[in-house]
A and B are shown apart, each in its own frame.
Chain A
Amino acid sequence: MRSGFLRRRLFRRTGIALTALLALALLAPILITAAGAFSRAEWYGQRSEGAEVDSTPKLFRYVLEVWGRALLRSGQIVAVVVPLALLIGAPAAWAFRRLAFPGSRLLEAAALVPLAVPGVALAFSMIQCVQGVPRFWLLAAGHLAYTIPLVVKTVGNAVETFDPRLEDAARSMGAGRLETAARITAPLLLPSLILSALLVFAVSWGEFNVSFLLAPPLLQTFPAALYLTYTTNSFPVAAAATLVFLAPVVPALIAIQALGGEEFHRGLPA
């Protein structure tokens, strides 16, 4: 018995150590990058930006100056994509569970299809066949295709976990459909709606595959700007730009984990 207990403890400790090691391996390059933005060292190599970036505040000011437009563009996209993804995805997810209609299962499956379609392929097809739509909205549509599935899944799971009799009770006590939706359904689904919004934000903020092809050169989003930084700027500038990119993502991720973002894994763009 005693040796079994010890072995179990060893198993547990080894497992935790391995997990910590994996987390550390994933974090290591990010930490090195962060250090790069705040320190000076010989191995940075040549700098094309010269005296413009010789101190940390100047470095970040330079990044914001050069990539401010792309940052703004990403902000605009996120501001459009987050509410639209919720407005399109959440009512549908609720309907799939509560008001099934002929073909609703098929539609639900269809909503998840984009996750298995490579971003470049979808972006290319969109450019080829949609003409006359402003590029901004094309870009937003590309983002929506990859974020709506997350909303459908997250909200769908949440609808399954609460008792439909709560809605029935409200109805039988005289509440109309709208009142039931506003006072029973929406509050119960609120956590999953917040989680969905955070997921959509995190995915849309980092999306590159679709954005890079769909956005015209002057309307590039911030991840595309990162590509330009990585290929043209020196390491400190690239590192600072990376930190600017990460700044809103890290709090969002912490919030997602705190809310239990189990549906987070699937279908994120790479």
Chain B
Amino acid sequence: MTPRAHSSAASWAGALLALPLLLFLLAAVAWPLAHLVRRAFLEDGEALRQVMAAGRYRTALVNSLALSAAAAVTALLLALGPAWILARERFRGRQLLRTAISLPLTFSGVLVGFLIVVLLGRIGAIPKLIEALTGRQALEGAAYTFGGLFLGYVYFEVPRAVMTLESAFRRFPWELDAAARTLGARGLERMLRIGLPIAAPALRSTLAVTFSASMGSFGVALILSRRFTVAPLEIYTEMTGFLNDEVAGALCLALALCTLTVDRLLALGKRR
């Protein structure tokens, strides 16, 4: 932030330029969310208590938390190497690889779910390939198991993780890396002992980005979920299937709070 605007006229001009944003946020974000909180505490928070008590709703929340956390960590591990390479190395086809990896970023959850079905559905490509190669049937309909759902979440989180990490690695202080190399540290050692500690804040923010994306996603689960349910799917079912707005609202609130809390925890200790 540049400490340039001192005059009150400039201040007013700035506020005027930001006024549409303020009004939009108040009308479309703050007001609805405030309404959600208020409603959740109506009738002594009966609906909220119902959601928090052991049962289907709490299971869905816990499932969402566990699935999102597991997928976020897996995506981070898968993304580390490619992000490092894309940020550091110059080679032919680099731009092509970046574009290919970033492509799934725009996919909605249902599309990702469909792609998993294409790979691992009852007549998916991988089971067909295994059958053609070995003559045995395997992995048919795996898309609809927990494994398939997990794979779907990892699929849409990997591109996010790669892109977030890459831009962090690009701002990386290479002098330190060069110094370590002069002192005889090898590639992998440098990455583990210099790269990772400096990149720790970026790793945390990558986890926050991917985690909150999966907490809110329900397209993947809408296509793939059979027994294993996640919170957004429960919200949708309560809302459209059972017209149970109280429970749906309380679930929304619980889901949003879980997401915001984890994001906050990940942001703790982050510099700046």
Binding site for B on A (CB under 8 A): 4, 7-8, 11-12, 15-16, 18-20, 22-24, 26-30, 32-33, 36, 43-45, 87-89, 91-92, 94-102, 104-105, 107, 110-111, 113-122, 124-126, 128-130, 141-142, 144-145, 148, 152, 164, 177, 202-203, 205-209, 212-213, 223, 226-227, 230-231, 238, 242, 245, 249-250, 252-254, 256-258, 261-270
B29 touches A145 (CB 8 A): yes
Question: Hey, which chain B residues are within 8 Å of A32, CB to CB?
Answer: 118-119, 125
A227 to B170, CA, bound (A): 38
Residues of B within 8 A of A28 (CB): 119, 125
* A-facing residues in B117-167 (Cβ within 8 Å): 117-119, 123, 125, 128, 155-160, 162-164, 166-167
Report the Cα distance A116→B11, complex, angstroms: 29
Residue of A nearest to B256 (CB): A121
Cβ contacts under 8 Å, B18 to chain A: 91-92, 95-96, 101, 104, 107
Of A19, A99, A227, the contact of B13 (CB 8 Å cutoff): A99
State how many angstroms separate the Cβ of A260 from the closest Cβ of chain B.
Answer: 10
Taken together as a complex, chains A and B put the C-alpha atoms of A117 and B248 apart, in Å, by 15
Q: Is the CB of A94 within 8 A of B17?
A: yes
Q: Please give me the residue from chain B that is nearest to A248 by CB atom.
A: B106
The B24-40 residues at the A interface (CB cut-off 8 A) are 24-25, 27-33, 35-36, 39
Stretch from B45-53, B192-200, B209-217 forming part of the interface with A: B209-217
| Number of cross-chain contacts by CB at 8 Å | 310
Closest 4 CB pairs of A and B: A99-B14, A118-B216, A265-B163, A208-B108
> If A7-B187, A16-B85, A22-B78 touch, does A124 touch B248 (CB 8 Å cutoff)?
yes
Which single member of A11, A212, A267 contacts B209 (CB below 8 Å)? A267
Is B178 among interface residues, defined by CB-CB distance under 8 A?
A: no
> Is the CB–CB distance between A101 and B11 below 8 Å?
yes
Give the shortest distance, in Å, between A81 (CB) and chain B (any CB): 12
Min CB–CB distance A109 → chain B (angstroms):
11
Give bound CA distance, A258 to B105, whole Å. 16
Knowing that A99-B14, A116-B260, A223-B219 are A-B contacts, what are 11 other residue pairs whose CB atoms are under 8 Å apart, sorted by A's residue number? A12-B85, A23-B101, A29-B116, A29-B125, A98-B5, A117-B256, A118-B215, A144-B24, A152-B21, A261-B102, A269-B216
Chain B residues touching A, majority SS: helix
User: Shortest Cβ distance from A13 into chain B, in angstroms?
Assistant: 9
- Docked Cα-Cα span, A95 to B2, in Å, equals 11
Q: How far is the CB of B109 from chain A (nearest CB, A)?
A: 5
* Contact status of A101 and B103, CB under 8 A, knowing A124-B239, A226-B110: no
- Could you tell me if B263 and A116 are in contact, using CB atoms closer than 8 angstroms? yes
Q: Is the CB of B33 within 8 A of A266?
A: no
Alpha-carbon distance A245/B217, docked complex (angstroms) = 19
Instruction: Give A20 to B98 CA distance when docked, in angstroms.
Output: 9
B236 part of interface (Cβ distance < 8 Å): yes
On chain B, the number of residues with a Cβ less than 8 Å from chain A's Cβ atoms is 106
- Kindly report which residue of chain A lies nearest to residue B213, judged by CB atoms: A270
Partner of A202 from B27, B36, B106 at Cβ < 8 Å: B106
* B14 proximity list for chain A (CB < 8 A): 95-96, 98-101, 104
User: Beyond A8-B187, A26-B104, A268-B105, is A128–B249 a contact (Cβ under 8 Å)?
Assistant: yes
Residues of B within 8 A of A262 (CB): 163, 166-167, 170
Indicate if the CB atoms of A124 and B249 lie closer than 8 Å: yes
Cα distance A231–B219 when bound, in Å?
Answer: 12
User: CA A62 – CA B146 in complex, angstroms?
Assistant: 34
- Which residues of chain B are near A29, meaning CB under 8 Å? 115-116, 118-119, 125
